[in-house]
Amino acid sequence: MPDLAGKAVLVRVDLNVPMSNGYVSDATRLSAAVPTIAALSDRGAKVLLLSHFGRPKSVDASCTMAPLAPALSDVLRRPVAFVGDCVGPTVEAAVAAMAAGDVMVLENTRFHTGEQANDPAFVAELAKLGDFYVNDAFSAAHRAHASTEGLAHVLPAFAGRSMEAELAALEKALGKPEHPVAAVVGGAKVSSKLDVLTHLVTQVDHLMIGGGMANTFLAARGVDVGKSLCEHDLAPTVLDILKRAEAAGCTVHLPYDVVVAKQFAANAPHRTCNVHEVAADEMILDLGEAAVEALGDALKTCRTLVWNGPLGAFEMEPFDAGTVALARIGGALTQSGGLLSVAGGGDTVAALNHAGVGSQFTYVSTAGGAFLEWMEGKALPGVEALKRGRA
């Protein structure tokens, strides 16, 4: 790494965090950015932070980055300034006035249409501000935007600490994993994860399917799932995925006992039954104990685990039980040293934290779309640009 004293470093971070009444309600992404920011500041760099917030089409006061500066200052434990634009004379003057080691949040990059268009003119305006570029936002690496991809072609480019840790964890999980590998894939709809499932059956030894997705798989196999959430029209696609799995030697695990209820509500009257005993007016809301135990037994034979999505309606008791039980098995196996576990996606993070095991997994990614595209086997523009280096 070059001498950074007095140099301006443009750092793409992800400050797109949940807010409530003007305050940050979950600072996970802010904390993830701290190691890179602190390291650059400690080496005397002028640290210029680029990020988007929300989905503005142009300048939108409700999407300003201004509240993020004090929130970041709290977790960074050093002053963080804010400037009301991300390009132009005002920003250039603010950067010139910074002292070595200062940190400043620039205004929302998406206030400019050139950001999402990856407009070379906008990239050039951003590049004028800095001597180096660091991408520390894996969660935005699936987007080929000016601040996530374009800058890597016009400035000396590096990966930040958080980006490096994420890529290292993902490489161990699916790039060059230790087999047997298990993948837990849950969530509501198969349609949202078709590419994930199609790719995973060629990469893993065990594919464990839960959530509403499991209902679609069961229905495709001729099981009557009552009034459960189910994409019946995807039966041919599901059968094709199962055929691919068989050809690749991947075991697909579907539940054989489930928890059903007639109402989609917390603590609704419920029962556990065999999947072939679901009544016409019942819906499947979780995996049964026997199904979870079977998944746990399979997991105990594995060396690597990739997890995306809950197994049931985990946000409502008692339909969180399946997710919690398997998550705790995964956490315990990881802590004993027998399993490398990587999880990602918003609902997944919430589910693991709900189970109290978020800190027990080897790595938990806060990335949503980028994590899914990685699970699909796709190249991520923000990562590929760093590999190519300066154009």
Any binding-site annotation on 14? yes
Ligand-binding site membership of 347 (annotated)? yes
54 labeled binding residue:
yes
Single out the catalytic residue among 78, 189, 227, 244: 189
315 annotated among ligand-binding-site residues: yes
Residue type, 96: A
Tell me: is residue 110 an annotated ligand-binding position.
yes
29 part of the active site = yes
| Identified catalytic residue from 44, 226, 296, 346 | 346
Q: Three-state SS string across the chain, please?
A: CCCCCCCEEEEECCCCCCEECCEECCCHHHHHHHHHHHHHHHCCCEEEEECCCCCCCCCCHHHCCCCHHHHHHHHHCCCCEEECCCCCHHHHHHHHCCCCCCEEEECCHHHCHHHHHCCHHHHHHHHCCCCEEEECCHHHCCCCCCCCCHHHHCCCEEECHHHHHHHHHHHHHHHCCCCCEEEEECCCCCHHHHHHHHHHCCCCCEEEECHHHHHHHHHHCCCCCCCCCCCHHHHHHHHHHHHHHHHHCCEEECCCEEEEECCCCCCCCEEEEEHHHCCCCCEEEEECHHHHHHHHHHHCCCCEEEEECCCCCCCCCCCCHHHHHHHHHHHHHHHCCCCEEEEECHHHHHHHHHCCCCCCCCEEECCCHHHHHHHCCCCCHHHHHHHHCCC
Q: Return d(Cα 382, Cα 388) in angstroms, integer.
A: 10
Is 85 annotated in a binding site? The answer is no
Does 348 belong to an annotated binding site? yes
Query: Would the annotation count 297 as a binding residue?
Result: no
Per annotation, catalytic residue among 29, 114, 312, 358: 29
Tokens linked to 34: 């701290």
List Cα–Cα distances, 87 to 10, 30, 62, 90, 147, in angstroms.
12, 23, 19, 8, 12
153 annotated as a binding-site residue? no
Could you count the other beta carbons within 10 Å of the beta carbon of residue 342? 25
- List Cβ neighbours of 173 (8 Å cut-off, separation of 6 or more): 181, 304, 305, 306, 340, 342, 363
303 is in an annotated binding site: no
The single residue of 226, 296, 369, 377 carrying the catalytic annotation is 369
Instruction: Tell me: is residue 53 an annotated ligand-binding position.
Output: yes
Q: Is 338 annotated as a binding residue?
A: no
Which of 140, 142, 159, 211 lies closest to 377 in space, CA to CA?
A: 142
Q: 361 labelled as ligand-binding? A: no
205 labeled binding residue:
no
* Residues tagged active-site: 29, 189, 346, 369
* Binding site members for substrate: 14-16, 29, 52-55, 110, 143
Query: Residue positions in the annotated binding site for ATP?
Result: 193, 315, 345-348
Residues making up the annotated binding site for (2R)-3-phosphoglycerate are: 29, 110, 143
Could you list the residues known to form a binding site, using ranges. Answer: 14-16, 29, 52-55, 110, 143, 193, 315, 345-348
